[in-house]
Amino acid sequence: MVGDTLSSVAVIGGALVMWRWQWYIVDPILSILICVLILIWSWRLLRDSVLVLMEAAPRHIDIELVRRELVRGVPGIHDVHDIHVWEITSGMYALTAHVRVDDIPVSATMAIRTQTAALLDDRFDITHAILQFECQR
Ligand SMILES: [Zn+2]
C-alpha cells in the first residue's frame, strides 16, 4: 500500500513538473524508477513464497540455540535432538523435535510439553510444536 501510494504521488508530482516546466523526460524516468521498485518488491515476495513452499528453516531461528534454550529452560528435559523448524505461512513457525526425559508416565510429560510450547512461543515465535518424548533405557 505504501508502495502504491508513493508511486501515485510520484506520478502526480511528475505531471505537475511536466505541466509547469514542460520537462517531459520526467515521465520515462519516473516510469523506470517505479518499475525497478516493483521488480525489487516482486523478487522479495517471490523469494519468501518459495522459501515457505520449500519448508525452509527460517533464517533468523538458530536451531542450536533452540536446543540449548529447551534443555536449560525446561526442567525434566535432558536432551533435544532431530529438531526441524519451518514456516507454515508468513510469520507462523512450526517445529518437530525428539525430547529425551526420564522414564516418567505420559501424564507427566504434559507439564514439560506445556512449558516447552510456552518457551518456543516466547523466545522464537514458534506457535506449533510437535514433540516426541523418549527416555534412556
Ligand atoms: Zn530421537
Ligand 1 midpoint to CA 79 (Å): 9
Ligand 1 midpoint to CA 97 (Å): 8
Q: What are the phi and psi torsion angles at 124 (to 5°)?
A: -125, 5
Task: Tell me the whole-structure pTM to 2 decimals.
Answer: 0.69
Ligand 1 midpoint to CA 82 (Å): 6
Ligand 1 midpoint to CA 77 (Å): 13
pLDDT at position 2 over 90: no
Domains of the chain, by residue range, sit at 2-53, 63-135
pLDDT digits (tens, 9 = 90+) for 50-83: 888 888 888 899 999 999 999 999 999 999 999 9
Read off the pLDDT of each residue in 28-46 and give the average, rounded to a whole number: 92
Ligand 1 midpoint to CA 137 (Å): 13
pLDDT at position 137 over 80: no
H/E segment holding residue 133: strand 126-135
Q: What are the phi and psi torsion angles at 90 (to 5°)?
A: -50, 115
Read off the pLDDT of each residue in 4-28 and give the average, rounded to a whole number: 92
The predicted pLDDT at position 135 comes to 94
Q: What class has domain 63-135?
A: alpha beta
pLDDT digits (tens, 9 = 90+) for 88-135: 888 899 999 999 999 999 999 999 999 999 999 999 999 999 999 999
Q: How far is the CA of 45 from the CAs of 18, 36, 39, 85, 97, in angstroms? A: 34, 14, 10, 21, 29
Ligand 1 midpoint to CA 26 (Å): 63
Ligand 1 midpoint to CA 123 (Å): 23
